[in-house]
């Protein structure tokens, strides 16, 4: 027996008050961190728009540095006199000379659900980075945050979801009572041509409300089943965008079912770990059941994305096993486990929106290369799909 000493409390006397106090203390601490980030970097509404130097801007425009210097001599200058280009200005030049990447006429807007059964697989991070990558190329992008945690709203919106997002900003009322009014929840973000339907904890009320309507057999009140409200709400909106990205929660509830009901494309991030592979097997069973009961929903593009990959023995073996099992469904490129991606997320940004590296420049370049490789592969495949839809031979 150890000497008698005063013991720490091993459990709470009143669990309700205990966890309520922990929630308050934790929320206050998070608010302090978020507010400090906003003071340092600006919130989503007031953050300084990212700019590119002439070398990068010329590549994005599709012309040489001398050409850009000669044809846009009035570009704003920084404090040392070097030209800086916003994405909006780059897109104006692209539109004038015909180098902007666009969805082919006759091709349908791609609505991509990023879905998973297990948290921590890089779902939100991958979705947010894809949104900024696509916008940087020139696409018009709508991001829908369907996770009550609001992590996507933090990254893409640059705001504290619980402090800055009110109930009327959420899609709750629209999807419960008037799907056609969904457009009023769309907001601009700090990144040009990326719009957002935000989320916070009150999105759980939507989950509960949709379930209640289904249980009360009122889900077809508008002639629209409870799991197809998002699809109905997107109908008058989707043609304003080239791609719609939906960040799903790690569950198979009514929010995820709405995302799947609206989507015509599916990305499943998966970490190269045995438990994640097992989780994905279970998820495919759920997906099979969902599409069995909804045979009218067609998925024209589906890929597995290996994320948080480390170039060491076990992840390499697990990655090979995933590729052997699922073949061409797995994207050839992977998103590496990168400290710079984590650094950007910690600042409520993506690597693409950072003005400068947070850590070392080499780490920043490796992160960009990893992300660019994955997303360029996706875009190449999507354009192949779009060109078939549009009847192009390219």
User: Based on the domain organization, do 308 and 357 belong to the same domain?
Assistant: yes
Tens digits of per-residue pLDDT, 79-90? Answer: 899 999 999 999
User: Based on the domain organization, do 251 and 370 belong to the same domain?
Assistant: yes
User: Based on the domain organization, do 58 and 166 belong to the same domain?
Assistant: no
User: Based on the domain organization, do 206 and 315 belong to the same domain?
Assistant: yes
Residue 60: predicted pLDDT? 96
Whether pLDDT at 6 is above 90: no
Residue 38: predicted pLDDT? 62
Cβ-based neighbours of 196, under 8 Å, separated by 6 or more: 142, 143, 144, 145, 152, 153, 156, 157, 186, 187, 188, 189
Residue at 28 is within a domain: no
Residue at 279 is within a domain: yes
* Cβ atoms 270, 307 nearer than 8 A: yes
Choose among 190, 179, 174, 119: nearest CA to 148. 119
User: Based on the domain organization, do 90 and 239 belong to the same domain?
Assistant: no
Residue at 298 is within a domain: yes
Global confidence as pTM: 0.89
Mean per-residue pLDDT of the chain: 88
- The highest-confidence range among 11-15, 33-37, 47-51, 229-233, by mean pLDDT, is 229-233
User: Based on the domain organization, do 67 and 125 belong to the same domain?
Assistant: no
Secondary structure in 3-state letters for 129-142: HHHHHHHHHCCCEE
User: Based on the domain organization, do 140 and 72 belong to the same domain?
Assistant: no
Residue 251: predicted pLDDT? 83
Count of domains observed in the chain: 2
Residue 40: predicted pLDDT? 63
User: Based on the domain organization, do 227 and 275 belong to the same domain?
Assistant: yes
Rounded percentage of the chain residues whose pLDDT exceeds 90: 61
Q: Average the pLDDT over 57-71 and give the result.
A: 96
Q: Residue 60: give the domain boundaries.
A: 51-97
Residue at 21 is within a domain: no
Residue at 17 is within a domain: no
Least confident of 43-52, 121-130, 315-324, 353-362: 43-52
pLDDT tier at 340, thresholds 50, 70, 90: very high
User: Based on the domain organization, do 156 and 80 belong to the same domain?
Assistant: no
- The domain boundary residue, chosen from 37, 65, 97: 97
User: Based on the domain organization, do 268 and 338 belong to the same domain?
Assistant: yes
Least confident of 4-8, 141-145, 201-205: 4-8
Residue 42: predicted pLDDT? 60
Q: Supply the DSSP string of 94-114, one letter for each residue.
A: HHHHT----PPTTPPPEEEEE
pLDDT tier at 37, thresholds 50, 70, 90: low
Whether pLDDT at 215 is above 80: no
255: domain CATH number is 3.40.50.300
Residue 30: predicted pLDDT? 65
User: Based on the domain organization, do 88 and 225 belong to the same domain?
Assistant: no
Residue at 297 is within a domain: yes
Whether pLDDT at 216 is above 80: no
Whether pLDDT at 218 is above 70: no
């Amino acid at each position: 027996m150890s000497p008698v000493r005063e013991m720490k409390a091993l459990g709470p006397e009143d669990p309700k008050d205990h966890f309520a106090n922990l929630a308050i203390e934790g929320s206050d601490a998070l608010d302090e961190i978020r507010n400090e980030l906003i003071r340092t970097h600006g919130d989503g509404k007031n953050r300084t728009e990212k700019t590119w130097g002439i070398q990068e801007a010329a590549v994005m425009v599709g012309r040489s540095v001398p050409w850009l210097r000669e044809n846009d001599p009035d570009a704003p200058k920084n404090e040392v006199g070097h030209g800086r280009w916003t994405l909006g200005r780059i897109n104006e030049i692209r539109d004038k000379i015909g180098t902007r990447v666009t969805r082919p006429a006759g091709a349908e807007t791609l609505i991509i659900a990023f879905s998973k059964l297990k948290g921590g697989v890089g779902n939100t991070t991958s979705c947010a980075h894809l949104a900024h990558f696509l916008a940087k190329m020139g696409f018009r992008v709508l991001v829908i945050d369907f996770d009550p945690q609001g992590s996507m709203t933090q990254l893409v919106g640059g705001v504290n979801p619980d402090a800055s997002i009110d109930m009327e900003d959420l899609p709750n009322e629209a999807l419960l009572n008037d799907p056609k009014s969904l457009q009023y929840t769309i907001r601009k973000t700090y990144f040009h041509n990326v719009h957002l339907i935000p989320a916070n904890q009150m999105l759980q009320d939507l989950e509960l409300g949709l379930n209640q309507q289904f249980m009360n057999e009122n889900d077809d009140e508008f002639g629209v089943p409870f799991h197809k409200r998002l699809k109905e709400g997107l109908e008058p909106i989707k043609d304003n965008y080239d791609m719609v990205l939906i960040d799903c929660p790690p569950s198979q509830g009514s929010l995820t079912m709405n995302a799947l009901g609206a989507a015509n494309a599916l990305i499943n991030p998966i970490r190269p770990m045995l438990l994640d592979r097992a989780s994905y097997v279970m998820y495919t069973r759920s997906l099979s059941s969902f599409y069995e009961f909804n045979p009218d929903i067609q998925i024209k593009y589906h890929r597995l994305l290996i994320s948080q990959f480390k170039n060491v023995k076990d992840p390499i073996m697990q990655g090979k096993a995933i590729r052997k099992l699922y073949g061409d469904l797995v994207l050839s490129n992977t998103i590496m486990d990168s400290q710079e991606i984590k650094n950007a997320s910690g600042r409520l940004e993506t690597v693409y929106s950072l003005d400068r590296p947070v850590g070392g420049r080499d780490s920043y370049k490796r992160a960009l290369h990893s992300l660019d490789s994955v997303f360029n592969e996706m875009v190449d495949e999507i354009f192949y799909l779009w060109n078939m839809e549009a009847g192009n031979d390219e």
